[in-house]
Chains A and B, each alone.
Chain A
Amino acid sequence: MCDIDAAQTPDARKPTNRTNKTQNERLRVPGKCIKCKTARPNVTIRKSLYCKPCFVRASVVKFRAALSKSRRRIADKTTPNTLEPAAPRAMVALSGGPCSSALLQLTLDYHNSMLQKGAAVQSPYLQIIVGHIDESALFDVPNDAVRSVAGDAVQFRQAHLEDVFAVGENSGALLEIVAASIAPGESSDRFRARVLESEHFSSSSSSSSPREQLHRLFDSLESATNREALLDAIKMFLLTKLAHASNCSVLLMGDSATRIASKIVSLTSRGRGFSLPLEVASECLWLDGLAVVRPMRDFVAKEIAFLNRWAGFASVVVPTFTTGAPAHASIDRLTEAFVVGLDCDFASTVPTVCRTVQKLEPRPEALAACSCLVCGLPVDPGSLTWRSRLTVSDAPSSSSAAAAIDCVPADHSSSDSSNNGNSDVAVPLLDISTRLCYACQSVLHFCKSDGLVLPAFCAERLADQTDSSASNNTRGHEDLRKQVEQFLIDSDKEDSD
């Protein structure tokens, strides 16, 4: 099988008559496979005919090429001066569906073939670990079947969706939304929440089991669009946590080109343009110490279906909130139906959309922005003002009152209504408007957000941000003090003199 890494040695990169060979290879024999030119074709992919063995071989080569490119680009960014960086541990995110199953098998195949070559060739990864999120709390998923897809030869790590509410044992807190509105009826955007410490759980509604809390959260989200958005955020958080816990610095995701294209359109429609380049990038280094890679980006769904069938890769059906639902069930479902339909009418829509968005980059302010409490992606600092200027909700005479309210600084613990329903718990309300991204604000606005208890990682992120901003303030204050130090009078010293 073709060795991509070996082909990238300096000698191999020298111009040879490779171009002519490639052109010859591409010559088509009518009615025959485009690769071997002898066998009868079995499948048409983008107007090219392939026989079964050639198709499987070409898919393997394509996967390895994509993975190698990603590895090189990551190495260029993270360790630019190191000739041969140490092979990291990699986690393959496995849902059990066709794309992630194909990803796992192709990655293992690559890894094992490198190991068989011995010391001469470095294996791309030190170890491959499977990371699976068990969604049985929400869907009827055959968990044993997913386990059998992974096989016994590989380490299998699993987290459960309800784990995000498992706090209390090692102390912890949850975040309860008290009010969420992007504008209607209000004079400004308003997102208020309070932190529920573990000692308060017994007296509040959050005393129920994690699974019940998860159900309550998803019931309150009301629409499938909101549920999908939050499920994505939870799964991504759990995968990241699993990867960190397993000492993996690479997370391989099974997003196919078809999936990436519909994700691009659906994220755009949900107002995630600010973080979009990070969410669909071939390689993303936004998460601390973890590179997210999408090596299946060049495969359309049809290719993966044929590959799984002919290469014998097992997969299971993974249900979602909109499985079997009509196209208008959610933005994701609508977008998927639309992109697939458009690709039928205008061939190569999917690769075009994917190629286009790979040329987008995150804005410089996105890389320095604080991360959203819900999705963990950067918050656009200007989005609040942007929206409030374009969805005016003040009565004609109340402009001055609105201005006064706008002047209230963010993060100010409000003294009013600190109890708000829970008479025995006096917890201050926090304005979290500046800590939510534009799209997550919409999710909270378009659901029954009053009393909504968010997963524990939201409170953790809030605590991290508050700690770091407090330490930044202290540091900033200290810097200022140093600048004016010579003018300050030390009262103790003065007294002793």
Chain B
Amino acid sequence: MPRLCEICQNSKAVLRRPKTAQRICKQCFYHVFETEVHNTIVDNQLFRRGDRVGIGASGGKDSTVLAYVMKTLNERHNYGLDLYLLSIDEGIAGYRDDSLETVKRNKEQYSLPLLIVSYEQLYGWSMDSIVEAVGRKNNCTFCGVFRRQALDRGALMLDLDHIVTGHNADDVAETILMNIFRGDLPRLGRCTEIATAGDGYIVRSKPFKYAYEKEIVMYAYFKKLDYFSTECTYSPNAYRGYAREFLKDLEAVRPSAILDIIYSGEAMQVAQDVQMPVAAQCERCGYISSNRVCKACTLLEGLERGVPKLGIARSAKASLEGVPDVAKRGGRTVERVHFDKLWENARRMRLERSENNTDVCTGSACAGVCNAQNTGSLTNM
């Protein structure tokens, strides 16, 4: 006799839920998965009605499921959000070009507008050319730093209020462990936050913060979503690999460990007297930075001067000015658009929309240019 679903006691159980070890049916799985994401959004008041929200879409499982679930919940609970797909083309042949094809198909499937910004267009360097200059070691540092800034640049091009990314519970738990191992207190405090504070920049959040990676894959599998499932051709981050392997072992011993680690991370509090970095503006590009020059500008300068270790090796960090000007290798020098200019463009777009009365303004880029209406947070839906 087939085993019945432990939740509805009605249908045949088809899966064992990794998070709770319950045997449940497909419909109940969809229900609990979507409800938990909805609870995360509502409890943390992630959005305001009328927000223009960009979904960071890579074509992988997390972002594909995120786009699908965001669209579903937006319609079901009437969040009143304008959703956009925002993709970054790092320029990795045989990996990103294929995954972007998936994003383009998602655009049609979910009827969401899509913007693709590339490293080549923003910085003059694709990841392929960076790897050529840097080698396979440390190239993830370049990719991560550039992607963070590229997402903000893309968001301002679309005049978005908010970016959501597909980081899942496994990613967050891994990061908490990694920051404990490395003794990185500022990041340990920040990594458990579901949304960035903003600090005048586009707010970024993780609606899948409490969703297990396995459940995301399961959701994509049962819903037959179209996603791209190949690992990046460049080497995975070695140190994160340790934390990932350990986390998988922990999950095998006790499946609730992932959620327990996130709970622990959130419950920890850094002592008041510990000095934390202060957010400031990069003097070159205007991006948020804890130093005089932001990491992206430092890395780019290193690339352009032919000293790719600049900004990576601890010793080279202090001597930005002391580096000899060697002929650059690969890439091309691109005049990077200052963030002040991007903000100005975003405000102009918002003003135009407000004049045409096509949209309700609620955004952070508005700065009081038009009359904000309907700005209540999504709390009681």
Contacts and interface: CB of A to CB of B under 8 A. Distances in A.
B283 interface: no
Contacts of A383: 263
B245 to A, nearest CB: 9
B264 A271 contact: yes
B252 A393 contact: no
Interface in A267-311: 267-274, 276-277
Nearest to B189: A360
B268 A277 contact: yes
Given A273-B263, A353-B183, A361 B250 contact: no
Nearest to A380: B267
A241 to B, nearest CB: 28
Contacts of A353: 180-181, 183
Interface string B3-30: 0001111000000000111100001100
Interface string B155-192: 00000000000000000000011001111110010000
Contacts of B260: 268-271, 438-439, 442
Interface string A340-369: 001001100100110111011111000000
Contacts of B36: 389-392
Interface residues of B: mostly helix, strand, loop or mixed?
Answer: helix
Contacts of B252: 328
A359 B263 contact: no
A386 B20 contact: no
B19, B185, B250, B253 — which one has the most chain A CB atoms within 10 A of its CB? B253
Interface in B243-269: 246, 249-250, 252-254, 256-257, 259-261, 263-269
Contacts of A185: 6-7, 22
A390 B27 contact: no
B39 A393 contact: no
B43 interface: yes
A185, A225, A273, A383 — which one has the most chain B CB atoms within 10 A of its CB? A273
A265 B249 CA distance: 13
A359 B265 CA distance: 14
A275 B20 CA distance: 24
B268 A393 contact: no
A269 B31 contact: no
A271 B261 CA distance: 6
A395 B6 CA distance: 9
Nearest to B192: A273
Given A265-B180, A353-B180, A394 B269 contact: no
A272 B264 contact: yes
B110 interface: no
Interface string B186-228: 0010000000000000000000001000000000000000000
A471 to B, nearest CB: 29
Given A183-B20, A269-B260, A356 B32 contact: no
A273 B267 contact: yes
B270 interface: yes
B274 interface: yes
Contacts of A328: 249, 252-253
B20 A184 contact: yes
B298 interface: no
Interface of B: 6-9, 19-22, 27-28, 31-32, 35-36, 39-40, 43, 176-177, 180-185, 188, 210, 239, 242, 246, 249-250, 252-254, 256-257, 259-261, 263-272, 274
- Which 8 pairs of residues, A with B, have the shortest CB-CB distance? A273-B264, A271-B260, A273-B267, A352-B183, A274-B267, A356-B183, A268-B264, A361-B271
Interface of A: 182-185, 223, 225, 264-265, 267-274, 276-277, 327-328, 330-331, 334, 338, 342, 345-346, 349, 352-353, 355-357, 359-363, 380, 383, 386-387, 389-396, 438-439, 442, 446
24 contacts: A225-B254, A265-B177, A268-B177, A271-B259, A273-B263, A273-B264, A273-B266, A276-B267, A277-B269, A334-B253, A346-B181, A346-B239, A352-B183, A359-B185, A360-B271, A363-B267, A380-B267, A389-B36, A389-B39, A390-B40, A393-B22, A395-B8, A396-B27, A439-B260
